[in-house]
Amino acid sequence: MSDNGWFVGVDPGDTETAAGRIREGSADSPEDWPARAVEAGFADSEEAYYSLLREASIAAARAGVVERERAGDRQLMHAIRAMDDCDRTANELAERVAEWAGSLFDEVGAGVDGARAVAARDPADPNEERVVALAERVVELDEEATALRSYIERTAPEVAPNLSRLAGPVLATRLIAIAGGLDALAKKPSGTVQVLGAEDALFAHLRGRAPSPKHGIIFTHEYVRGTHPDERGSAARALAGKLAIAARVDHYSGELKPALERELDERMERIRSRGDA
């Protein structure tokens, strides 16, 4: 029987359909598929079958890569990295603007706000034109970073509702990006989630040069940063445990589980009460 072969009913020249069959199909047991394909008239020989199979497999792999790269978590990863690039570049250029503008104008402010003030000036000569134009680029980068943050805040709850609810959209996206995707994050134990973003400190610890890090980027969460230093380790473990569960729920079902947030709030209340005692 060749009823469940990927090639059944497929035109040998229709690589797209063949690729779809390979990606979505399955068989109950192994078969001599080359011989079955020749018997069914799909290929003239086993060599021809393998040639068609290779083309279809490459097309299937390419389609899988495109689908994966266009997935919501991948788009968030691009967005958070682009936002950080815009922020970093804007701040670096703002320093250059402050230095340059300081040689041309009185009372030049620092940072992006200072560049924004320079960008609002009316240049009086070619020197001022260039520094004002540079300041305008700083403002544009800062505005793009703000737009990217807004995109992340809108999109992350759709892609990872539970993780976004517990961590906030931006931190949730950072965790996804560092892990390499929502699927990768969902497979990590809570202890790994706890120290994501602290890889340098972790490697130093493994070499015996530093103590074990208690937390990575989850330190930016109020439940860790705002907890008494003596209890931050416990707070980080509690938060990481719930974030790991949230990532798994988001990846495997996508169903919002409000109980996760309630459980985390109750656990953190107990931890913080110890620190206040």
| 101 in the same domain as 59 | no
Number of structural domains in the chain: 3
Residue 217 lies in a domain: yes
Q: Could you tell me how far CA 104 lies from the centroid of its own chain?
A: 42
Q: Looking at residue 144, which CATH number applies to its domain? A: 1.10.287
Of 126, 157, 188, which marks where a domain is finished? Answer: 157
pLDDT at position 1 is 41
C-alpha dist (Å) from residue 159 to 11, 142, 243, 252: 37, 25, 15, 12
191: which residues sit within 8 A by CB, 6+ positions away?
240
Q: Find where tokens 């603007």 sit.
A: 97
C-alpha dist (Å) from residue 256 to 51, 69, 176, 188, 249: 46, 24, 18, 20, 8
Residue 7 lies in a domain: no
Q: Could you tell me how far CA 173 lies from the centroid of its own chain?
A: 5
Can you give the residue range of the structural domain that contains 59? 15-69
Residue 2 lies in a domain: no
Of 129, 157, 185, which marks where a domain is finished? Answer: 157
Residue 102 lies in a domain: yes
pTM score: 0.75
Q: Cα angle vertex 81, ends 80, 83, to 5°?
A: 65
| 190 in the same domain as 147 | no
Residue 4 lies in a domain: no
| CB contact at 8 A, 225 and 219 | yes
Q: What is the mean pLDDT of each run of 10 residues along the chain (277 residues)?
A: 71 82 77 83 86 84 70 91 97 96 92 96 95 97 97 95 96 96 94 86 65 80 90 92 96 92 93 74
Residue 89 lies in a domain: yes
| 227 in the same domain as 190 | yes
